């Protein structure tokens, strides 16, 4: 597999070297295009040494009179990956400006495009940038959403380049899944659907300082939200506390406790046509959370009384007013996984359930990949081998679509 890696001029350019290494470890041959400003942050020699390929850093580098170089480079690649992508390059791509090798290669490209933006939070939030992102998404380009955190400018917010491992997983997933080569513009198979997704953990307070929660990162739910959006759905994401940035063009409702998530779901459920409960919801909460910080006061042990939380997925699955709504659940277990998932499928009125073994280090909580078994009400089972969470998101949506079509 051949990947054309575009590197643009921002502080995140140094992470592109890690992306390159990750792609090589997965068997990819990588050729690098650098914009002029990118070379101010990282020298081309760095990428040449890592890739073993000449770096293209100028419009007329590596002239080959037998071919038109930017067209040849684009056509030889299975994927055009731009990481990091500045606001400037997004604007060029969106409006067809071809004034350097990377923007010209983009216009010459007929293969999938994956873009990992990186910029200041104000630049990311600016209406011009958001409009450009909308154009590119509608055109079929795919994105690895930026993260939230401390930025080089000293501000904190959305705009940090996604982690290299996440970028690598998405890139390999696109290449390895032939269906992903069909542009989103041509496969808007969720148009007309309102998909609601719950994601991340919930938090239950013990006192003003301490709380009960779990290791869910929210990545699976966010991946499903982005996949549904890219396939034409109107999406509502109900998210517990995560480190992920809110996906663009998705209604995101931030909650903390199970009760808050339950109320957010029930309040927006009426016109929802597909509900996917991927959140790792706390099953119990302290019955009497302390108003003040709990002190030792000489005690060696302490007993906590817990009470059951609201069963969100059951309230949706067993709702007498479902009106054809498809309901999908997740089961994350450490033992008797399939037996538990089958029981949950039946008791909670689900159409299908995605079963995860949480003891696998390479799947489930707080990692970029996942492996699962989909169980359906008709008794059939579909095994999903280890893959990126975005790939799995599309596989789950494929099964939802089959249910919709009957």
**Nearest alpha-carbon partner for 364 in 250, 298, 280:** 280
Instruction: Give the tokens for residue 208.
Output: 């003003």
Catalytic: which of 153, 253, 367, 382? 153
- Reported as half-sphere exposure (CB side, CA atoms, 13 A), residue 142 has a value of 27
Query: Which of helix, strand or coil describes residue 21?
Result: helix
DSSP state of 246: P
Query: What are the phi and psi torsion angles at 123 (to 5°)?
Result: -65, -40
Written in H, E and C, the secondary structure of 104-170 is HHHHHCCCCEEEEECCCHHHHHCHHHHHHHHHHHHHCCEECCCEEEECCCCCEEEEECCCHHHHHHH
Please name every residue paired with 357 in a beta bridge, in sequence order, or none if there are none. Answer: 333
Please name every residue paired with 254 in a beta bridge, in sequence order, or none if there are none. Answer: 239
Instruction: Give the tokens for residue 263.
Output: 């109320």
Helices (H) and strands (E) in the chain, counts: 13, 19
- Reported as half-sphere exposure (CB side, CA atoms, 13 A), residue 8 has a value of 23
The residue to which tokens 């930017």 are assigned = 70
Instruction: Give the tokens for residue 176.
Output: 């390895």
The residue to which tokens 């339950």 are assigned = 262
The residue to which tokens 């792609």 are assigned = 23
Q: b or e along 372-388 (b: 16 or more beta carbons within 10 Å of the residue's beta carbon)?
A: bbbbbeeeeeeebeebb
Q: Using CA atoms in the order 304, 280, 346, 225, what is the torsion angle rounded to 10 degrees?
A: 160
Quote the CA–CA distance of 226 and 234 in Å, as a whole number.
Answer: 10
Active site residue 10: no
Quote the CA–CA distance of 194 and 252 in Å, as a whole number.
Answer: 13
How far lies 396's CA from each of 47, 217, 224, 265, in Å?
A: 37, 19, 8, 20
Catalytic residues: 153
């Amino acid at each position: 597999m051949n990947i054309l890696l575009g590197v643009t001029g921002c502080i995140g350019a140094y992470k592109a070297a890690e992306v390159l290494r990750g792609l090589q470890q997965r068997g990819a041959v990588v050729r690098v295009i650098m914009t002029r400003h990118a070379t101010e942050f990282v020298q081309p020699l760095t990428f040449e040494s890592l890739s073993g390929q000449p770096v293209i850093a100028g419009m007329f580098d590596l002239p080959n009179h037998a071919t038109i170089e930017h067209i040849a480079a684009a056509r030889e690649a299975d994927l055009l990956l731009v990481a990091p992508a500045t606001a400037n390059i997004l604007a060029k791509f969106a409006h067809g400006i071809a004034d350097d090798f990377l923007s010209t290669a983009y216009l010459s490209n007929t293969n999938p495009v994956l873009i990992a933006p990186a910029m200041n939070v104000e630049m990311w939030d600016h209406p011009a940038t958001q409009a450009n992102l909308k154009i590119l998404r509608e055109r079929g380009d795919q994105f690895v959403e930026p993260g939230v955190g401390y930025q080089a400018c000293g501000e904190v917010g959305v705009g940090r380049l996604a982690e290299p491992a996440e970028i690598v997983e998405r890139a390999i997933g696109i290449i390895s899944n032939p269906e992903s080569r069909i542009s989103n513009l041509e496969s808007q198979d969720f148009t007309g659907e309102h998909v609601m997704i719950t994601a991340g953990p919930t938090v239950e307070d013990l006192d003003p300082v301490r709380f009960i929660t779990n290791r869910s990162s929210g990545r699976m739910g966010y991946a499903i939200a982005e996949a549904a959006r890219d396939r034409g759905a109107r999406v509502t994401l109900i998210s517990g506390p995560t480190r992920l940035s809110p996906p663009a063009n998705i209604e995101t409702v931030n909650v903390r406790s199970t009760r808050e998530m339950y109320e957010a779901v029930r309040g927006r459920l009426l016109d929802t046509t597909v509900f996917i409960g991927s959140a790792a919801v706390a099953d119990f909460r302290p019955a009497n959370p302390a108003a003040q910080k709990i002190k030792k006061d000489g005690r060696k042990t302490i007993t906590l009384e817990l009470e059951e939380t609201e069963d969100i997925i059951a309230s949706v699955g067993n709702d007498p007013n479902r009106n054809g709504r498809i309901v999908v659940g997740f089961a994350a277990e450490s033992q008797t996984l399939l037996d538990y998932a089958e029981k949950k499928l039946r008791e909670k009125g689900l159409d299908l359930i995605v079963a995860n073994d949480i003891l696998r280090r390479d799947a489930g909580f707080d990692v970029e990949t996942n492996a699962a078994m989909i169980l359906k009400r008709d008794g059939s089972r579909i095994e999903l081998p280890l893959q990126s969470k975005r790939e799995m998101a599309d596989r789950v949506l494929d099964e939802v679509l089959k249910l919709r079509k009957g």
